[in-house]
Structure 1
Amino acid sequence: MRKNRIKKVLGILLALAAILVLAAGLFLIFWPALGKNPSREQQAEYGERTDAFYDGAFHTPEYFQLIVETEDKTEEKTEQTPEGAIPVNKITELPEVGIQDLTFTWFGHSTSLLQMHGMTVFIDPVLSEYSSPVGVAGARRMAEVPMTAENVPEIDILLISHDHYDHLDYQTIKDIDAKVKNYCVPLGVENHLERWGVNLEKIHTMAWWEDTEIGGLTISSTPGQHYSGRLPWGNNRTLWSGYFLQDEYHKVYYTGDTGYGEFFKEIRERYGEPELVLSEDGQYDPEWPYCHMSPREVLQAAEDMGTEWVIPIHWAGFVLSRHAWDEPAEQLTTLAASSDVSVSTPKIGETIRLDRIEQYQEKWWREVQ
């Protein structure tokens, strides 16, 4: 009798396990936010377009290790999110600009908007509350977005640096795609967009060092020390990228997510010195020093690029690391005080003009209680 009960319980547990496995399998197959992997034919094409693709995956330009064993295991308490509200300027409309103007608006984390060459360029737009494949759990936004997807204007160019959830958001793309004229994406990311219903004719795929010219603005894909993937396994089937944008009036460089490397000097040699660098500065950790830059490395990269101005991004958005929420800006501005590089620190939602950038150096995070 007892054996029969045990068999019955085991049978029920096995059935439940089978149902869970089936449900997980169906989720992986049918949940669109997870995206779509490149085909074998596409992988063969990637290998022809860049030396960074081999053995079925993309590789960094320099030595890379995802996780590093470290003795720094201290669980020092830090304020990873502020107790008070981060100030956000709500955007009702963007300023009118001419072809020679350059403006920048930060949306928090890496999401940014440039007005350059008379066009609107949206960078890594994530307007959802959570950075995750399900949209209701995961890393939660620590500040409001300054503009909802509904109010986003027409976008001439949308740049995607890589396919991690804090840079490529399914719901945001679905909400604003009708307003986007052109996408520039690293190799492989086009498959995610195609699954989400984006017209492939709008998508410009790019390998490192390739250029795309759109309406008089040249966009160049640049290398970085990072990785990609929307699942815990099968990383690096898509490429990651920074972008160098230039016309006859201005040069702007967006690092994308990256660790520090010698490639910054090569970017400068190829494209010249940018007036402005939008640099990742946050989500760094001793256990993954090759994935992201510390504030000291951000400053070194800016010096390597020969830029006068750097704006730190990839902070005050989603908590993905253990440092204090305001540490990236605080440390970078402190270090830059003895450097030739100047740091501009606009509030979220604040639109700054390059010709007035020196007016936006307020250490506003110190007032957040």
Structure 2
Amino acid sequence: MSRPVSWLFRAGELAAEAGLALRDAKRSYRTLPRESWHRMRTDAFGADPRGGRLHRVRNSPHFVDGSFRNPVPTRRLAYGHTPLALMRTRLTSDQGRRSPSAAVPVHRLLPADLSEPPASGLRLTWLGHATVLAELDGVRVLFDPVWSERVSPFDWIGPKRLHPVPLPLSELGPVDVVVISHDHYDHLDMATVRALAAGDAVFAVPLGIGAHLEHWGVSPRRIVDLDWWESVELDGLRLTATPARHYCSRGPRPSGKFLWSSWVVEGKRHRLFHSGDTGWFPGFADIGERFGPFDATLMQVGAYSEHWPEVHLTPEEAVQAHRDLGGKLLVPIHWGTFDLAPHPWEEPAERTVAAAHAAGVTVAVPRPGKPFEPADPPPVKLWWRAVAAAPSGADLLVPDGLAPGVPDSPAALTAPRARTPRWPPPGRPARRARRRPGRHGQAPGHQVRRRPPRFREARPGRRARTVPRPGRRGPPVLTPAGGSSRLT
């Protein structure tokens, strides 16, 4: 089957799946009471800020003309990239490369693994995507907790997990502080928040996000809303909301009243940075000057695309941001758990390790659920290659056995890879300008991009008007009243 035909079949399959999902949703709507359907439909979307929370939002210096603004001008989609282009990229990308070919080797985390305090005072456990448990100077901090199977307002549609959670939430133990970076579904999960609300944790969130938590049953006394550069003291830690280059969006409600942020956590002996979701901007250097150096930076390295280059870091940009922050150990997060962008599943890890080694940056890429202490980082083991769908030896940037922190032929590691164009699909010729024999005074074979317009002769007392050919627009030509527009 040729590539264009298979592309059309794939588009038909996606349309059929969407139709079946809508049909099932319609049946569910008919069988549920109206109150239950309304509650299911709106709860995951959260709520708008009100009262004192809304007053703080409107008085923020970063709230301009009814919405929060990024520290630098930012577009959610690159100029000229439309939703149709996004769909085209999704359909023409290699679907088999966007998920692992076998089960991800998740480390089954046991409560005994976390029972003893870390010897150095700082221990990190990456639980998948942007969820990280940090045990810092005797305090347990949980970043962007997501335990649901899908990151979506519904449990029947949306990006699904590519690997299980390393341990059930019930076995995690007590958490002192929960930190949320923004309200996207892959960072703020309603079911997880409701489960954590049963404990005694305090929730630190950017301005406006507390409205979602309060709507889901979290006590307002346990919610701390912070603007950029604001800090709060919790259990001996100092948490500061720092700028990020991103946006908020959760369901059909307006998103201008919800802030996004990165986070700085300072203890008595250690400092930690969590990027949340962000594009690169010069503010990383400012954060590093104010709060650095950091024992570890948890940097978003996945879900990037040429369609939204300003709101997500590429792996190379994450390494540069880590250096701007003055970080000691780079821990890549936000990759490998959900399929959120058209890049191959293993590519963020490959590119991060390659860029880190080329820049002389120490990096740790543990398996999900494997605890480690930044004071003694584990060696880089390319564990993802065993389950990646890439052909043997293809698109691999890091030589096997490369020692952590030691660059090895940086030019080879950072050399750009040859990429096949995503459009037109292979086998389909690109559209060419039509060639015509010599016409309109042009040489034979000249590429004519459009025909010249036809003109009607102006009647006395009227202006000449242009009559373009069907489907084409010609330049307007005006002549004095009573004159002629005929070309001579």
Aligned to 2:62: 52
Out of 148, 158, 163, which is 1:138 matched to?
158
Task: Determine the structure 1 residue equivalent to 2:271.
Answer: 251
Q: Does 1:83 align with 2:93?
A: no
- 2:372 matched residue in structure 1: 352
> Where does 1:99-248 land on structure 2 (aligned, <5 Å)?
101-232=121-252, 234-248=254-268
Contact in 1 for aligned 2:57/2:257 (Cα 8 Å): no
Superposition deviation, residue 216 in structure 1? 1.3
Kept in 1, the 8 Å contact 2:118–2:373? The answer is no
Q: 1:361 maps to what in 2?
A: 380
Secondary structure of 1:245's partner? strand
Is the Cα–Cα contact under 8 Å of residues 74 and 310 in structure 2 kept in the other structure? yes
Shift of 1:251: 1.0
Distance 1:236 1:156 in 2: 30
Higher relative contact order (Cα pairs below 8 Å, separated by 6+ residues): 1
| 1:265-285 CA-partner distances (Å, limit 9, x unpaired) | 110111121121000010011
Cα 1:110–1:366 change in 2 (3 A) is: same
1:299-323 deviation digits (Å, cap 9, x = unpaired): 1101111212111100011111100
2:42 equivalent among 15, 31, 46: 31
Which whole-Å deviations, capped at 9, do the CAs of 1:165-187 have from their partners, x for residues lacking one? 00111111112221242110111
71-80 or 321-330, larger mean C-alpha shift? 71-80
1:155 and 1:187 map into 2 onto residues whose CA distance is 22
Partner of residue 266 from structure 1, selected from 270, 274, 286: 286
Structure 2 Cα separation of the partners of residues 106 and 51 of structure 1: 34
Shift of 1:355: 1.9
How far does residue 98 in structure 1 lie from its aligned partner after superposition? 5.6
- Residue identity over aligned pairs, in percent, reads 34
Structure 2 counterpart of 1:297 = 317
What is the CA distance between 1:248 and its match in structure 2?
2.5
Deviations 1:23-58 (A, max 9, x none): 79x74896311100113753332232x311122211
Query: Which residue among 283, 298, 301 is the counterpart of 1:278?
Result: 298
Structure index of larger Rg: 2
Separation in structure 2 between the aligned mates of residue 86 and residue 98 of structure 1, nearest angstrom: 27
Tell me if structure 2 keeps the 8 A contact 1:61–1:223: yes
> Structure 1 residues 42 and 129, CA, compared in 2 at 3 Å: closer, same or farther?
same
Counterpart Cα distance in 2 of 1:32 and 1:76: 34
Is the deviation greater in 181-190 or in 231-240? Answer: 231-240
Aligned-residue Cα RMSD (Å) equals 2.3
Work out which of the residue numbers 355, 359, 363 in structure 2 matches 1:335. Answer: 355
Check 1:360–1:114 CA distance in 2 against 1; reply closer, same or farther (3 A cut).
Answer: farther
Asked if 1:309 corresponds to 2:326, the answer is: no
Q: How many residues align?
A: 349
Query: 1 or 2, which has the higher strand percentage?
Result: 1
Could you tell me how far apart the structure 2 residues matched to 1:76 and 1:150 are? Answer: 38
Shift of 1:215: 1.6
Q: Which among 319, 331, 334 is matched to residue 339 of structure 2?
A: 319
Instruction: Give unpaired runs (5+ residues) of structure 2.
Output: 1-25, 389-488
CA distance in 1, matches of 2:143, 2:200: 12
Alpha-carbon distance in structure 1 between the residues aligned to 2:260 and 2:135: 23
Shift of 1:232: 4.5
Residues 329, 374 of structure 2: 8 Å contact kept: no
Could you tell me the TM-score, scaled by structure 2's length? 0.68
CA deviations over 1:167-213 (Å, ceiling 9, x no partner): 11111111222124211011111111111111111111111101111
Query: In 2, distance between residues paired with 1:309 and 1:348?
Result: 17
